[in-house]
Amino acid sequence: MKKTAGIIFRSVILILFGITLGLIMANGHFFDQGIGFSQGNNDKIAKVLQLVRQKYVDSVNVDSVEGVAANNLLQNLDPHSMYLPPKQAQAINEKLEGGFDGIEYQLLRDTLFITQVYSDSPAAKAGLVSGDRILYVNNKSFSGTGLTVQRVDKVFTSAKDNSLTFTVSGPDITGTKVFTFKRGYVDMSSIDASYIAAPNIGYIKISKFASTTDNDFRDALASLKQQGMKKLVLDIRGNGGGYLNTATALADEFLTKGQLIVYTKGVHEPRTDYFASDSGEFQQGKLAVLIDEYSASASEILAGALQDLDRAVIIGRRSFGKGLVQEQFSFPDKSAVNLTVARYYTPSGRSIQKSYAGGVENYHNELNARMNKGELFSEQSNLNDSIFKKQSPYHTLSGKAVYSHGGIMPDIFVPADTAEDTNLVQQLNDNLLFTAFVIDQLQPIISKYASADDFVKQYQVSEDTFGDFIQYASGTIKEMDSNDIALSRQPIKTFIKAYAARFKWGDQAYYQAINDDDVGFKKAIAAVK
């Protein structure tokens, strides 16, 4: 289900490769470093900014103005070249590097509830668990003091090198208990889930291509092999991309020595070919890859290579269509520019970058246009697109036609589930009501199960629980359409169960519960049997 965005807040992750280069800033404008900014009388951007700084009627944050000016310039080039303010650049890079505080939380009734504590994090070692409520921080009142996400983040950020003391109450605590730990990042696996999904069939879910993904994948693969895995379903639905070298390294796990994975080239970038080595850990064995309209960039490099080389069956819906490569250039203030420096091409020679001739706004609204045309619900609607009506010059090794300039077309189409795309389900996810319901009403039920497997196999959301949830949600969503409630009954039940599983046992349990009712997952299992 695509609404798994409720688990991890997603950003559009751009393909990054090469080393980070420094640019020099002085006097508030860019000096010539060989990338198109010039020093001197012809530098109109710098002159305008200088005039604003020295002559403008009101006080202006020139740093902010510079960022807007730079971003407007870059967005006129293509939709993926952009200026990143310091916090945004840091957040993107930290996400791809795999670092994390180790705690997830939700604000509910002006109280911070811990919803996930990752193993080996300082918080986990201190003894915090899901369901704990933070009442005091460093012996000062915290709960009921007008909490905001920004204020909570500031508490953790300001304590980077210091200890935090939490006074908490929780389902397993009589009265209150004090926990002290030092904030710190923990290494996080970039594998969301890895388990035996059917006899001899493994399932691995990857939501981003981070710096550790290849090593994490190898570890997951080794574990599944020990459990008897012979065939694999790789799920990269909703995966917006990540590092180019990570995508090629992951493709290398499935391909044999000398096979071309991808090549890149641009006006200022000579063609660079990426070939498979002989170190892959799953060069044999049936493979299915799940994609959707949110699979982009590095995900499309992987899916495109495996499709062109007839190594995997691609299942799902047409991917996003991002075939541009960005390199990141950093400034001394930790802001950065992600600049498109090349296009990438699949082994058959196709570029899957969709058109952006209509401007940035139309480009980012293209997925809505697809939905309105019915492409997410009908395979024929995709094929009716002018992109796919022309005879394609591109073919897989076996001679099957594949298409360019519009994303990766799957081999097996899976329509989007209209029942989970209702406005009601969107509102429930946006308001984090599934986790809130788990916190408030399902913890006693969860505690009765010894393991995630037991819970996923045995627990079913009853009609009474469904009714309780709708009543609970009505406190936040004042008007709920009865038709939406009826249409979305099963997806809502699945989400209640999945979020309950995640609250207690983490992401893998979530996906196990989600996949039980997922059509794409079932088609992928059938494809590799």
Q: Residue by residue, what is the 3-state secondary structure of 305-364?
A: HHHHCCCCEEEECCCCCCCEEEEEEECCCCCEEEEEEEEEECCCCCCCCCCCCCCHHHHH
| Closest by Cα among 236, 254, 318, 270 to 13 | 236
Q: What is the largest CA-CA distance in the chain?
A: 74
What confidence category does residue 173 fall into, taking pLDDT thresholds of 50, 70 and 90?
confident
Residue 340: count of CB within 10 angstroms of its CB: 20
So what's the pLDDT on residue 160? 55
Structure tokens at 203: 């399932």
The answer on pLDDT for 22 being more than 70 is no
pLDDT band at 42 (very low <50, low <70, confident <90, very high): low
Which of 292, 300, 290, 348 has its CA nearest to residue 323?
300
Q: Which of 336, 463, 388, 439 is nearest to 21 (CA)?
A: 336
Nearest by Cα to 261 from 271, 253, 269, 251: 251
Could you tell me how far CA 134 lies from the centroid of its own chain? 28
196 and 170 Cβ atoms separated by less than 8 Å:
no
Question: Please, which pLDDT band fits residue 101 given cuts at 50, 70 and 90?
Answer: low
Beta carbons of 262 and 246 less than 8 angstroms apart: no
Centre a 10 Å sphere on the Cβ of residue 22 and count the other Cβ atoms it contains: 10
Please give the structure tokens belonging to residue 378: 């009908």
pLDDT score for 429: 95
Domain assignments of the chain as residue spans, ordered by start:
99-187, 191-324+348-416, 419-528
pLDDT, the chain, mean? 87
Residue-level pLDDT at 503: 96
- For domain 191-324+348-416, the CATH superfamily is 2-enoyl-CoA Hydratase; Chain A, domain 1 (3.90.226.10)
Q: How far apart are CA 313 and CA 331, in angstroms?
A: 43
Burial of 390 (0-12, 13-18, 19+ CB in 10 A): exposed
CA 107 to chain centre: 22
- The first and second tokens of residue 328, run together, are 């990141």
Rounded to whole angstroms, how far apart are CA atoms 291 and 314?
A: 7
Among candidates 236, 233, 245, which has minimal Cα distance to 293?
A: 236
Q: How many CB atoms lie within 10 A of CB 133?
A: 22
What is the pLDDT averaged over residues 34-40?
A: 41
Mean pLDDT score, 444-463: 96
DSSP for 349-414, written as a single string: S---PPP-TT-HHHHHTHHHHHHHHTTTT-HHHHHTSHHHHSPPSEE-TT--EE--SS-PPPSEE-
Written as six digits, the tokens of 192 are: 């969301």
Query: Which residue reads 């394609």 in tokens?
Result: 392
Q: CB within 8 A of 53, min separation 6: which ones?
A: 28, 60, 62
* Residue (of 310, 304, 306) closest to 353 by Cα position: 304
Q: Which CATH architecture has domain 99-187?
A: Roll (2.30)
Q: Amino acid identity of 483?
A: N
Give the CA count within 13 Å in the CB-facing half-sphere of 363: 16
CA atoms within 13 A on the CB side of 313: 21
Question: Going by DSSP bridges, is the β-strand pair 103-108/111-117 parallel, antiparallel, or unpaired?
Answer: antiparallel
Cα–chain center distance at 296: 10
The DSSP 8-state label assigned to residue 451 in this structure reads S
pLDDT at 459 over 80: yes
Of 415, 437, 428, whose CA–CA distance to 488 is shortest? 428
Residue pLDDT, tens place only, 382-424? 777 767 777 889 999 999 999 898 899 999 999 999 888 889 9
Is the pTM of the predicted complex or chain greater than 0.95?
no
Residue 502 host element (H or E) = helix 489-505
Look up tokens 């081999």; give the residue: 411
Helix H or strand E segment including 113? strand 111-117
Confidence of residue 98 (pLDDT cuts 50, 70, 90): low
What number is the average pLDDT over the span 475-489?
A: 93
- Cα dist. 263→44, 266, 358 in Å? 37, 11, 27
Q: Is 428 left (phi over 0), alpha (psi -120 to 50) or beta?
A: alpha
What is the pLDDT at residue 312? 98
